[in-house]
């Protein structure tokens, strides 16, 4: 296999995921409407009650909408990563995934291409959301949109790898839908997506510790800092470490020789 062939494989899988997303209009509008509802309704209500808040790390007065926009952007990555993994379960049930896996490319590379393709599709949704938020007077520095891309890419890979790990351990489509809700909502609400960690600590130290060890919290913080031209090294290392851990688990789970799928089939 040459480098050109590997690149062609990546482009082919990315194109397939993009076309699948464009043909699923309900998925597109669902992914976009969900954060917009939070931004326009939920945040507007908090703004009227709280006015402005002092939000670290910027040590300046900013509106609540400006604070939660990075959290909502990360929410798009979270939902999209889980939905992309849901399609893996669907493809496995329908048999189309088998056609992909029997290609001459290594299985780990095919899964990585699938992960990258899903992440790029999710990032496109995030930037569309940020463009709409711009007209809602949420206007970070223009350079922040460029600096946010690496943060979004790493965060999307981490959340997508988590979805792949879950899909490798779940055999039926109906079960995965339930697990998605069990994972998505605790990860989202027990994070700094909607509230600063210092406010959560003032309310409950126990909840603060849960949020602090939540990988999604660090995905949110990595995106939030990057969008305003800064970097959180703690968030960066946690996201990268979680990505490697989840990806290793997913590759193990999809390994036909020793993975979780093989054990399930062998056990009946």
Please confirm whether the linkage preceding 57 is cis (ω < 30° from 0). yes
Comparing 98 with 192, the larger pLDDT belongs to 192
Mean pLDDT, the chain, rounded, equals 79
Strands (E), the chain: 52-54, 61-63
Q: For residue 176, what pLDDT is reported?
A: 64
Question: Which pTM does this prediction carry?
Answer: 0.83
3-state SS class at 102: coil
57-93: pLDDT as tens digits? 433 334 566 778 888 899 999 988 888 777 776 666 6
Which residues are within 8 A (CB) of 139 and not within 5 positions of it... i.e. 6 or more apart?
none
123-158: pLDDT as tens digits? 999 998 998 888 877 788 889 899 999 999 999 999
What's the chain's length in residues?
268
Q: For residue 215, what pLDDT is reported?
A: 95
Triad 121, 126, 130: Cα angle to 5° = 150
Dihedral sign of CA atoms 197, 202, 203, 208 in order: positive
Percent of the chain with pLDDT over 90: 28
Q: For residue 61, what pLDDT is reported?
A: 34
Judge contact between 243 and 161, C-beta under 8 A. Answer: yes
């Amino acid at each position: 296999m040459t480098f050109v062939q590997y690149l062609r494989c990546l482009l082919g899988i990315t194109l397939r995921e993009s076309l699948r997303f464009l043909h699923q209009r309900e998925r597109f509008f669902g992914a976009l409407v969900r954060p917009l509802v939070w931004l326009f309704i939920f945040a507007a209500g908090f703004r009227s009650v709280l006015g402005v808040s002092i939000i670290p790390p910027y040590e300046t007065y900013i509106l609540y909408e400006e604070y939660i926009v990075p959290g909502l952007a990360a929410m798009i990555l979270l939902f999209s990563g889980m939905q992309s993994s849901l399609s893996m379960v669907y493809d496995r049930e329908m048999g189309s995934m088998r056609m992909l896996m029997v290609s001459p490319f290594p299985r780990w590379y095919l899964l990585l291409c699938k992960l990258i393709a899903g992440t790029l599709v999710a990032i496109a949704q995030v930037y569309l959301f940020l463009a709409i938020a711009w007209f809602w007077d949420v206007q970070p520095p223009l350079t922040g949109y460029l600096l946010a891309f690496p943060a979004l890419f790493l965060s999307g890979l981490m959340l997508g790898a988590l979805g792949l790990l879950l899909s490798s351990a779940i055999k039926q489509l109906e079960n995965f839908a339930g697990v998605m809700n069990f994972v998505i909502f605790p990860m989202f609400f027990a994070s700094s997506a909607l509230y600063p960690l210092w406010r959560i600590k003032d309310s409950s130290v126990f909840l603060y510790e849960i949020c602090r060890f939540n990988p999604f919290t660090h995905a949110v913080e990595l995106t939030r800092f990057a969008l305003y031209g800064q970097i959180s090294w703690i968030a960066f290392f946690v996201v990268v470490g979680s990505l490697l851990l989840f990806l290793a688990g997913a590759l193990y789970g999809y390994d036909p020789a020793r993975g979780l799928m093989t054990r399930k089939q062998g056990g009946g």
